[in-house]
């Protein structure tokens, strides 16, 4: 971060999916310098408390409020880390902070604001099973809190028609119990039912569970709020292994595997 510690700054940092060893040294250094920590309360709780660090945990769906709070503190000279799970630029706090900058005080545009990358859930999940993201892929947020469900369905359909591997973030929650089931139904009309589907839950901690099933057998009940669902493309392959779960990979060139 800035060598001038008397000047405030904002670092928007990714904590990765869970394990401490997946937090980058750059993020660790920013946390060590910070005077204030802001984020969704469960993510703030992942950062150890220390003297001189003020913790500001908030409830879900308060992204713009958090962002404005961080920018106001930085304008007052505080060193602020805004934490996200995974990577802060993937369906997380980086976009919220820049949205607040655009809407907010003109002076906020001159603040020292940096985005510190982290390991996104789709990369962590992919690493556990092989190389499913070896060719073209996309990520779609199944939450319709900030966009109409009709747009979600359009993007799912077009991604399947384009034969992308599709990583589904936020597949369901208590407030959104039906969206994943509808998404799987839609994808079955576009993909062969043999296409592999990966359910990766709580990757990196003791509750980790990863299943690979054909699209025709994929059921929404397998997922929860900590699940990343990955739909293979028509090119995605399974390599069977007698001693464990199959490797899943997507060849680097179309038609390379048979």
Tens of pLDDT along 194-252?
999 999 999 998 999 999 999 999 999 999 989 999 999 999 999 999 988 899 999 99
Query: How many angstroms separate the CA atoms of 113 and 8, rounded?
Result: 9
Task: Quote the pLDDT of residue 6.
Answer: 60
Listed residue (74, 73, 71, 55) closest to 63, CA to CA: 71
| CATH placement of domain 122-249 | 3.30.950.10
Q: Which whole-number Å values give the CA distances from 203 to 3, 109, 211, 226, in the listed order?
A: 35, 36, 12, 8
What residue spans define the domains of the chain? Answer: 9-119, 122-249
H or E segment and range at residue 147: none
H or E segment and range at residue 74: helix 63-75
Task: Quote the pLDDT of residue 244.
Answer: 86
Low-confidence ranges of the chain (pLDDT < 70): 1-6, 256-258
Return the CATH class of domain 9-119.
alpha beta
Query: How many angstroms separate the CA atoms of 230 and 212, rounded?
Result: 9
Report how far apart the first and last C-alpha atoms of the chain are (Å, whole number): 49
Query: How many angstroms separate the CA atoms of 91 and 247, rounded?
Result: 28
What backbone torsions phi and psi does residue 48 show, to the nearest 5 degrees? Answer: -60, 140
Q: Using an 8 Å Cβ cutoff, are 83 and 47 in contact?
A: yes
Name the residue with tokens 């250094």: 29
Task: Quote the pLDDT of residue 4.
Answer: 44
Tens of pLDDT along 122-131?
999 999 999 9
State pTM to two decimals: 0.92
Give start and end residues of each alpha helix (H) in 118-248. Answer: 121-129, 149-161, 179-188
Task: Quote the pLDDT of residue 18.
Answer: 85
Structure tokens given for 9 = 């700054």
């Amino acid at each position: 971060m800035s060598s001038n510690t008397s000047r405030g700054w904002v670092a928007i940092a990714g904590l990765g999916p869970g394990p401490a060893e997946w937090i980058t040294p750059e993020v660790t250094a920013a946390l060590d310098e910070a005077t204030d920590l802001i984020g969704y309360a469960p993510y703030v709780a992942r950062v150890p408390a220390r003297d001189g660090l003020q913790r500001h945990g908030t409830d879900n769906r308060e992204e713009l409020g958090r962002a404005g709070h961080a920018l106001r503190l930085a304008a007052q000279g505080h060193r602020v880390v805004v934490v996200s799970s995974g990577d802060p630029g993937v369906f997380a706090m980086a976009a919220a902070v820049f949205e607040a900058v655009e809407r907010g005080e003109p002076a906020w545009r001159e603040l020292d604001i940096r985005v510190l990358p982290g390991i996104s859930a789709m990369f962590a999940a992919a690493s556990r099973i092989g190389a499913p993201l070896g060719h073209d892929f996309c990520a779609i947020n199944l939450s319709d809190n900030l966009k109409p469900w009709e747009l979600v369905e359009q993007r799912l359909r077009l991604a399947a028609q384009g034969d992308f591997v599709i990583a589904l973030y936020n597949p369901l929650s208590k407030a959104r119990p039906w969206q994943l089931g509808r998404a799987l139904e839609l994808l079955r009309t576009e993909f062969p039912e043999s296409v592999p589907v990966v359910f990766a839950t709580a990757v990196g901690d003791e509750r980790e569970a990863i299943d690979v099933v054909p699209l025709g057998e994929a059921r929404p009940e397998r997922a929860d709020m900590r699940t990343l669902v990955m739909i293979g493309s028509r090119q995605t392959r399974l390599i069977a292994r007698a001693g464990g779960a199959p490797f899943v990979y997507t060849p680097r060139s179309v038609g390379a595997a048979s």
